Homo-oligomer: A and B are copies of this chain.
Amino acid sequence: MAESDAGPDVAAPDELPVALTDPAYREAVVDLLAVIAYGELSAFERLVEDAKLAPALEDKLALAQMAGAELAKVQPLIDRIAKLGGDPFEAMAPFHEALDEFHAHTAPADWYEGLVKAFVGDSLARDFYREIAAYLDPDTRDLVVSSVVEGNHAAFAVDHIRQAIASDPPLGGRLALWGRRIMGEALTQAQRVAADRDALTALLVGGVDRPGLDLAALGRMLTRLTERHSERMAELGLDA
């Protein structure tokens, strides 16, 4: 029997929630978990790289610990993709280019740009995954929401950036521009992924037989994401 031949890590179809027995939905979920997993993994690598810019060992450790928190979220996503019958590393491949380009175009020039990127980039990803969670079956939703849960590191970033701007006000102008660039690059790459990955896009905008967001609702979602980004920039003491 095919189910048992597939090995112990793959769930038999009758063990899956009903929603996941639909191949198109399952494909979309594998895409989603894969883009989150590769997002966490690439964020880990970049944060460790950016930690080299830290002014002190204590700051470097704090950023490394933010990175470690991202890394720890990868394995549960990989396990779930395998359970759904996907190959986790093949599933991540279509997202390498968009995420690698995001990071290549937002390489921080100094420690504070790195901190702003860590805080803003991570928060943006979290907001987006929470938005998309509304369109998921409960099991997948729980996994996605738990994999984007906030660590206690945001406060570190906010404190350090606010202090730095207080003692060097022109830094605020530069970091405000930097925050806009991160947001713009994130939107560019997200659009690219949406254009390439039909199953994932169908999850949001609906398919032939599945309700989804209409264009107006999609617009409102983007507005919410942008508003939250502005609130975060304000929290840092920056204009969005």
Interface string of A38-66 (1 = CB under 8 A from B): 00010011001001100011101100110
Among A23-31, A68-76, A124-132, A202-210, which stretch is in contact with chain B? A68-76
Which residue of B41, B92, B93 contacts A64 across the interface (Cβ within 8 Å)?
A: B41
A61 to B64, CA, bound (A): 16
**A window 86-113: CB within 8 A of B:** 89, 92-93
Question: Please, how many residues of chain A have a CB less than 8 angstroms from a CB on the other chain?
Answer: 22
Q: Contacts A56-B89, A89-B56; is A41 near B61 (CB within 8 Å)?
A: yes
- Report the nearest B residue to A75, measured CB to CB: B65
A89 to B52, CA, bound (A): 16
A189 to B45, CA, bound (A): 28
Question: A71 and B74: CB pair below 8 A?
Answer: no
Question: A68 and B61: CB pair below 8 A?
Answer: no
Interface centre among A52, A60, A75, A89 (most CB of B within 10 A): A89
Question: A89 and B58: CB pair below 8 A?
Answer: yes
Which residue of B41, B48, B78, B89 contacts A45 across the interface (Cβ within 8 Å)?
A: B48
List B contacts of A65 (CB < 8 A). Answer: 71, 75
Given contacts A45-B51, A65-B71, A68-B68, 17 further A-B contacts (CB under 8 A): A41-B57, A41-B60, A41-B64, A44-B48, A44-B64, A45-B48, A45-B52, A56-B89, A57-B89, A57-B93, A58-B89, A61-B74, A61-B78, A64-B71, A65-B75, A68-B71, A68-B72
Q: Which 6 A-B pairs have the closest CB atoms?
A: A48-B48, A68-B71, A58-B89, A57-B89, A68-B68, A64-B71
